[in-house]
Structures are given as structure tokens and as C-alpha cells.
Amino acid sequence: MHEMSIALSIVEGASEEALRHHGSKVSAVRLQLGKLSGVVKEALLFSYDLACEGTALEGSVLNIEEVPATVFCRSCNAERTLVSIQDLSCPVCRTPTAEVLRGRELLITGLELTEEYAAATG
């Protein structure tokens, strides 16, 4: 299980982005999590609170948007959403395809900031 490492990376990345946007306290983080990212949502949520302790993200909420895996099917010439990541084939014509278009996301897409950096004390 590496979700603790991932949670720590989220905290680090979100802290940097908050600073860049002059925020000193983060109350929520929005995250895109792909089905093929290799990261388990429940384990990540479990690790997140602990990773936030003592940082500008302490007490914040992690809002996870799960991203389905999609592939490009050459036979259909179209992007198709996989039914299962155990079956990398077009759900319409059944042609196997290894061209993954989406589903590997591990992406911070938004922050909710509650304090301005200048107003922060200490």
C-alpha cells in the first residue's frame, strides 16, 4: 500500500499551489483519480487526514472525482470507456486495444482556500 506516500505528495503539492495562490489555509482539495492509476480511493481517504496533520491542509476535505479508463479503438475510430480494467478491449466491437487515453490521472484540479497568506500569523 503506497497511498500514504501519495497522500503526502497531495499535501505537498496542494501546499505549494496554495502558496502560489496566496492562500495559507486549505479547506478542500479536488482530485481526479483514474481507474488505472493504481491508487485505491478508500485507502487514500484513510491516509489523507493523517498526512494533513500539522500542515496548512489540516482538517481539509479530499474530494475525489473518479475518472473512468478510456481507450482508443482503431476499428471504431472512437474513444471508448472500458467496462473493466481487466479487459482492455473495445466494449462495442471487442477489438483489443492498448491505447489508453484516460484513466491514469492522479491530478489536483482545485483548492478551496480560507485564509489569505498575508493574514496568516506565525
Contact residues: another protein, CB under 8 A: 1-2, 5-6, 9-10, 12-14, 16-17, 21, 23, 27-28, 31, 36-39, 85-89, 96-98, 100, 106-116, 119
Distances, alpha carbon 23 to alpha carbons 7, 59, 122, in Å: 20, 15, 14
Local structure of 47: helix, strand or coil: helix
Beta bridge partners of 96: 89
- Closer to another protein by CB, 6 or 56: give it: 6
Alpha carbons 90 and 72: distance in angstroms, whole number: 8
Expressed in percent and rounded to 5, the helix, strand and coil fractions of the chain are 25, 35, 40
